[in-house]
Amino acid sequence: MRIVVLAGGIGGARFLRGLKAAVAPGDEITVIGNTGDDIHLFGLKVCPDLDTVMYTLGGGINEEQGWGRAAETWSVKEEMKAYGVGPDWFGLGDRDVATHVVRTQMLGAGYPLSAVTEALCARWQPGVRLIPMSDDRVETHILIDGEGGEGRRAVHFQEYWVRLHAGVPAHAIVPVGAEDAKPAPGVLEALAEADVILFPPSNPVVSIGTILSVPGIRAAVAGAAAPVVGLSPIVGGAPVRGMADKVLAAVGVESTADAVARHYGAELLDGWLVDTADAGAVAAVEAAGITCRAVPLLMTDPAATAAMARTALALAAEVRR
Ligand code: GDP
Ligand code: CA
């Protein structure tokens, strides 16, 4: 069976670990990763979501934090600070830096991001095929109020998310460069040949929404022969982790499990899983033409996550057209 997953960082990566435990031998998992969070820092190209997937599945992740390398040290960061060179709000650990140096060097030599990602994965052996959504540069920017209430300004997603902790109103979310971006080699083919397409509990706006903003990808998901099943990142009216409610509000979507399903819509989704806490949302989702089940959706441990993945695959089998 060929399974294709559209993934952001932590939510996507943790789900993928459960999915790997749930599939049968011989099943192939292709991950289309979000690159809208990518940022250039100190001359280095950083791809936080691709790296979170790679480190999590490859056994190198900092488990408690959910991002970055295990047993990390921070000498580079301290040395940059001693030079007075910022930004100091983005965590670039010493071990992690090596990944960005290798990536930047390969990009500089002319390799596309998809080939670079494959090369990095040769070390990490994530057990999935990880493809960036696009080889072209796409960077999510957030429109916020200007300093001192003067007009509005756009900041990089990481500045809004990491420095500002999504603590200021977001007026618009723009995947800069997306309209001219092409899906990376293999993305459309994987979607066309998939037996199942899954939306893990990743951020619907700045992770999965950004992937879908690359021309051709949304249509490929909507037109795929495979059933599309998603899992809600919103449980009991709030994100399980992080600040997805802030970016959902910016696109006019309530932070509820059923509003997120309706935001994707029946054009994209055939099935949707909500947490048992949101069992009351099932009817509204089904009224929108999406088959819905309420099951435990907290990725508290590998077994619970694998059970979520098995339920998603079972729902996909049920709704297969
Ligand atoms: P990011 O790029 O690191 O922000 O990660 P993703 O976009 O892949 O996933 C972020 C989303 O994962 C957040 O909106 C969380 O609500 C969701 N999430 C995290 N842990 C869980 C969990 O245990 N269960 C569910 N249902 N969602 C989760
Ligand atoms: Ca992300």
92-104 pLDDT tens trace: 999 999 999 999 9
Label residue 182 exposed, middle or buried (CB < 10 Å: 0-12, 13-18, 19+). Answer: middle
Distance between CA atoms of residues 235 and 277, nearest Å: 7
Above 90 in pLDDT, residue 295? yes
Distance 137 CA to ligand 2 centre (A): 15
DSSP 87-121: --SS---HHHHHHHHHHHHHHHTT--HHHHHHHHH
Above 80 in pLDDT, residue 149? no
- Average pLDDT over the chain reads 97
pTM attached to this predicted model: 0.98
CB of residue 18 inside a 6 A radius of ligand 1: no
Asked, for residue 299, whether it belongs to a domain, the answer is yes
Give the structural domain span for 31: 2-58+113-135+180-319
- For atom 12 of ligand 1, the residue with the nearest CA is 11
Element (H, E) at 264: helix 257-264
Asked, for residue 85, whether it belongs to a domain, the answer is no
**Per-residue pLDDT tens over the stretch 25-61:** 999 999 999 999 999 999 999 999 999 999 999 999 9
Asked, for residue 69, whether it belongs to a domain, the answer is no
Distance between CA atoms of residues 146 and 17, nearest Å: 41
Distance 139 CA to ligand 2 centre (A): 11
CB of residue 299 inside a 6 A radius of ligand 1: yes
- For atom 26 of ligand 1, the residue with the nearest CA is 233
CATH number of residue 283's parent domain: 3.40.50.10680
The pLDDT confidence band at residue 121, using thresholds 50, 70 and 90, is very high
* Lowest pLDDT segment from 56-60, 87-91, 114-118, 136-140: 87-91
Distance 115 CA to ligand 1 centre (A): 27
Amino acid symbol at 191: L
Q: Report the percent of the chain where pLDDT is more than 70.
A: 100
Asked, for residue 240, whether it belongs to a domain, the answer is yes
Q: What does the pLDDT read at residue 173?
A: 97
Above 70 in pLDDT, residue 108? yes
Distance between CA atoms of residues 202 and 98, nearest Å: 26
Asked, for residue 17, whether it belongs to a domain, the answer is yes
211 closest CA partner among 225, 226, 201, 221: 221
Element (H, E) at 141: strand 139-145
CB of residue 33 inside a 6 A radius of ligand 1: no
Q: The sheet that has 2-7: what strands, in order across it?
A: 129-132, 28-33, 2-7, 196-199, 228-231, 271-274, 291-294
Asked, for residue 160, whether it belongs to a domain, the answer is no
Q: Which residues contact 42 (CB under 8 A, 6 or more apart)?
A: 80, 85, 92
Asked, for residue 166, whether it belongs to a domain, the answer is no
Mean pLDDT of 284-298: 98
CB of residue 243 inside a 6 A radius of ligand 1: no
Above 90 in pLDDT, residue 150? no
Distance between CA atoms of residues 278 and 117, nearest Å: 37
CB crowding 80-94: b at 16 or more within 10 Å, else e: beeeeeeeeebebbe
Q: What does the pLDDT read at residue 321?
A: 63
Asked, for residue 82, whether it belongs to a domain, the answer is no
Q: What does the pLDDT read at residue 33?
A: 99
Protein residues within 5 Å, CB atom, of ion ligand 2: 8-9, 37, 49
Domains of the chain: total: 1
- For atom 19 of ligand 1, the residue with the nearest CA is 11
Distance between CA atoms of residues 237 and 197, nearest Å: 25
